[in-house]
């Protein structure tokens, strides 16, 4: 079943049926002022932190799952009928209410028509501002004059902390105070505390405003219960039904933001208004915002600036392949998905309701891989922040909070909270950053550790390796510690992880590459010695005859062995054995063939097989989840990119592409009733064949799956790989792909790369010509890559 389509020209996803299987979201704003909005205008806004800066109320896991939101109601003063400018919350019958939602790059447009009245509402946050605009165009398509009243509705949080607002009602229900100042509503939480604008972390009085441009305010309400009415809901507020505001002022309990304006429209006439909501006090920041957005034309100009800004970012890489759905995914939604994940980590979505504040170490370091080519300067700051989240012993703080991080003075993480994989991800991110930017001096930059001391970036990388070398178990493999990416493994204090062993191998190999480039012979010798010892231990203790085991617990019992009845095959050690280049040739073929035979499904590759049902929870937490869900045998989307990369490394373009498409959101646009979530962004997991809801996906938007899928598709399938000295061209595609092309921004220049595959190969480059000049090998030197360089690649 299909609920919408991709508009590639406008870079939008157009939802044509409002009753989507689940609420389909988009993001507005930036890292200061963020917002979520659904296809029915649900969602919330927040300032700096979704956990401690959320000023719009949002109730997690309600029915429907996106209420309340940014609502505008319409009341016909003649017929007394009323509706909303989005299908929800009034929910008029589909046969009389026509609507479509256009989700774009940091904006959403909802177009609706009911009773011959058409509305178009553009929701966006002007660039660099801490307020949002709802630009509303109202058109009378009737043959008679229509007299209408409009009512906004915002339900405010009593306290900006999600916990205080939703749970601690004995406190938070008494600290809200609403007021009205010459057409602007002021929402205050803890109004009797001082305002401390320069320090977000201090408990203080916090304010937001709601104003109107383009029409005169004719009424207002700020008391939620008075606006909605007793035993009513968002779909039938008493004020909207009766057609007039009451002028209520909330003191305590629950505040709302309702502004009323009246419009008479002749046949064919249109009028425009702009609702402005943002951070600050009505008589200060509110008035300033109204002056900045003085009329609807200015709002439209700001909207166009926003679109141009985001399109410029997204167009850092564009592709043309034989797969139209892949083009839609890679030319808009994957890069935008990566940018939003980079911005908000795992802090703000309909599912991540604010319980995860700050930047998770492992997540954030990986998230950079998907945005390096479009926002390298922003990545510089984020990467340095995360490196300073590493402790002097080489481990990492599990979470780094940008607004509360003081490098060199942070407390040491308790030993039982360290995770063995955290700093291993630096070996993916740091070299990728240097190769993308060409900033070789970054390896020598001195940065502090979080707790004490400092080192060069290269020194930080060495400490990351040493952290795991110093923490090994009975088989001389790295200890799993609190977790090793999979939070459900219970390895115990001395349990060992084969997955991190392969990460450590990748780290040592990468460290050798860097030190070779820098001519650091003693460091090369040290790393090669450690690599040799690690390889011997992997071969002796991790190979199970047909595949690699996953781990040992502290009792010496295996996970992921053919001797295990449940969880006998795990995906990650197989893919990372290839990714780390431990498994090559026939060994790589053996493990990847097992993956294809035991783990691959039509919706992606399962994380384990079979799932855990009878195993004791003391051994693994996976059975907490239903079989085929999340870590218990689901198609964990984060891992799909690794499977794609591994297949390209053995030259199997057909299977790599099949794996990529199996989890690609756009591939499910016509099967949305199966996947259920948005068909344009990635999810955390998809239920596997062990689940009764095979193919259903959950937890969309903020996931490492977005980054790794984009990285795998662009650098390993399409094969455009930044290197220290230029661009490596190394595609691996299905044999029937005869032509494809990529335009990529690299170090400030746009490079146009055209591929032809006359021999129908899956991998291999026969020749490269850059601006008419033959290139030796498959790395185009940086001096040959000027702006608008045209590269012709013949595969063979």
Q: Could you count the other beta carbons within 10 Å of the beta carbon of residue 417?
A: 12
363 classed as catalytic? no
Residue 194 tokens, joined: 């001082």
β-strand partners of 735:
none
Q: How far apart are CA 553 and CA 473, in angstroms?
A: 10
Q: Provide the total of helices (H) and of strands (E) in the chain, helices listed first.
A: 20, 41
Q: How far apart are CA 776 and CA 779, in angstroms?
A: 8
Instruction: Identify the active-site residue in 487, 544, 609, 787.
Output: 487
Residue 419 tokens, joined: 């995770």
Closest CA to 107 of 306, 400, 315: 306
Q: Which H or E element spans position 25?
A: strand 25-29
Q: Could you count the other beta carbons within 10 Å of the beta carbon of residue 554?
A: 16
Sign of the CA dihedral 126, 129, 132, 136? negative
Residue 771 tokens, joined: 């601006």
Q: How far apart are CA 615 and CA 608, in angstroms?
A: 14
Pairing of strands 608-609, 739-746: unpaired
- DSSP assignment of 139-187, as one string? EE-SSS-EEEEEEEEEEBPSSSSHHHHHT-HHHHTTSEEEEEETTEEEE
Q: Which residue has 């001519």 as its token pair?
A: 519
The count of C-alpha atoms lying within 13 angstroms of the C-alpha of 706, restricted to the half-sphere facing its C-beta, is 30
- Helix residue ranges per DSSP H, 470-520: 498-517
Contact 40, 61 (CB under 8 A): no
Question: 312 Cβ partners below 8 Å, 6+ apart?
Answer: none
β-strand partners of 6:
13
Residue 597 tokens, joined: 């035979």
β-strand partners of 742:
319, 753
Residues annotated as catalytic (active site), given as ranges: 487
């Amino acid at each position: 079943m299909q609920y919408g389509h991709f508009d590639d020209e406008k870079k939008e996803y157009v939802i044509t049926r409002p009753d989507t299987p689940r609420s389909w979201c988009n993001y507005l704003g930036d890292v200061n002022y963020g917002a979520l909005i659904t296809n029915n205008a649900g969602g919330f806004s927040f300032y700096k932190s979704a956990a401690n800066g959320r000023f719009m109320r949002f109730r997690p896991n309600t029915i429907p799952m996106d209420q309340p939101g940014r609502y505008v109601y319409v009341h016909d003063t003649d017929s007394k009928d009323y509706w909303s400018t989005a299908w929800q919350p009034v929910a008029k019958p589909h046969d009389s209410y026509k609507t479509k939602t256009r989700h774009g790059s940091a904006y959403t447009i909802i177009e609706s028509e009911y009773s011959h009245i058409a509305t178009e509402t553009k929701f966006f946050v002007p660039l660099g501002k801490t307020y949002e605009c709802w630009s509303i165009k109202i058109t009378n398509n009737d043959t008679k004059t229509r007299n209408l009243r409009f009512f906004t509705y915002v339900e405010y949080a009593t306290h900006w902390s999600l916990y205080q607002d939703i749970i601690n009602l004995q406190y938070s229900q008494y600290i809200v105070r609403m007021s009205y100042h010459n057409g602007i509503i002021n929402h205050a939480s803890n109004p009797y505390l001082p305002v401390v604008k320069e320090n977000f972390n201090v408990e203080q009085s916090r304010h937001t405003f709601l104003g109107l441009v383009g029409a005169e305010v004719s009424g207002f309400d700020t008391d939620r219960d008075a606006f909605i009415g007793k035993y009513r809901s968002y779909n039938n507020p008493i004020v909207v039904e009766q057609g007039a505001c009451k002028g209520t002022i909330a003191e305590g309990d629950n505040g709302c933001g309702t502004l009323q304006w009246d419009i008479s429209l002749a046949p064919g006439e249109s009028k425009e208004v702009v609702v402005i909501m943002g951070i600050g006090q009505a008589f200060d920041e509110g008035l300033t915002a109204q002056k900045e957005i003085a009329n609807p034309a200015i709002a439209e100009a700001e909207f166009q600036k926003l679109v141009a800004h985001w399109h410029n970012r997204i167009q850092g890489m564009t592709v043309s392949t034989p797969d139209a759905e892949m083009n839609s995914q890679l030319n808009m939604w994957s890069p935008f998905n990566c940018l939003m994940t980079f911005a908000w980590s795992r802090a703000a979505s309909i599912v991540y309701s604010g319980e995860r504040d700050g930047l998770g170490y492992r997540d954030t370091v990986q998230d950079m891989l998907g945005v390096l080519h479009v926002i390298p300067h922003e990545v510089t700051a984020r990467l340095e922040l995360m490196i300073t989240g590493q402790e002097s012993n080489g481990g990492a703080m599990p979470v780094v909070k940008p607004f509360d991080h003081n490098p060199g003075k942070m407390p040491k993480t308790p030993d039982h909270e360290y995770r063995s994989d955290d700093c291993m991800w630096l070996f993916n991110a740091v070299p990728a950053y240097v190769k993308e930017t060409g900033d070789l001096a970054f390896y020598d930059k001195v940065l502090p550790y979080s707790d004490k001391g400092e080192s060069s970036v290269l020194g930080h990388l060495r400490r990351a390796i040493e952290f795991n070398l110093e923490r090994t178990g009975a088989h001389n493999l790295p200890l799993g510690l609190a977790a090793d990416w999979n939070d459900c493994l219970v390895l115990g204090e001395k349990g060992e992880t084969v997955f991190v062993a392969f990460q450590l191998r990748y780290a040592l190999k990468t460290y050798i590459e860097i030190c070779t480039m820098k001519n650091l012979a003693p460091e090369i010798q040290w790393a090669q010695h450690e690599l040799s010892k690690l390889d011997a231990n992997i071969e002796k203790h991790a190979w199970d005859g047909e595949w690699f085991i996953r781990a040992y617990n502290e009792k010496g019992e295996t996970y992921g062995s053919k001797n295990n009845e449940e969880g006998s095959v795990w995906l990650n050690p197989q893919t990372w054995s290839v990714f780390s280049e431990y498994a090559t040739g026939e060994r790589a073929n053996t493990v990847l063939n097992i993956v294809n035979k035991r783990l691959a499904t039509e919706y992606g590759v399962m994380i384990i097989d079979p799932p855990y049902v009878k195993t004791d929870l003391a051994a693994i937490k996976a059975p907490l989840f239903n079989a085929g869900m999340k870590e218990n045998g689901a198609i964990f989307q984060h891992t799909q990119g690794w499977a794609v990369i591994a297949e390209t490394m053995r030259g199997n373009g057909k299977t790599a592409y099949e794996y990529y498409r199996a989890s690609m959101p756009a591939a499910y646009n016509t099967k949305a009733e199966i996947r259920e979530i948005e068909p344009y962004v990635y999810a955390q997991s998809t239920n596997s064949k062990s689940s009764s809801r095979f193919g259903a996906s959950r937890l969309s938007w903020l996931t490492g799956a977005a980054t790794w899928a984009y990285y795998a598709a662009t650098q390993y399938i399409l094969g455009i790989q930044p290197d220290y000295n230029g661009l490596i061209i190394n595609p691996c595609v299905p044999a029937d792909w005869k032509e494809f092309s990529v335009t990529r921004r690299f170090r400030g220049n746009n490079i146009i790369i055209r591929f032809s595959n006359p021999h129908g190969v899956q991998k291999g480059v026969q020749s490269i010509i850059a601006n008419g000049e033959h290139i030796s090998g498959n790395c185009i030197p940086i001096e040959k890559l000027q702006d608008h360089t045209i590269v012709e690649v013949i595969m063979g």
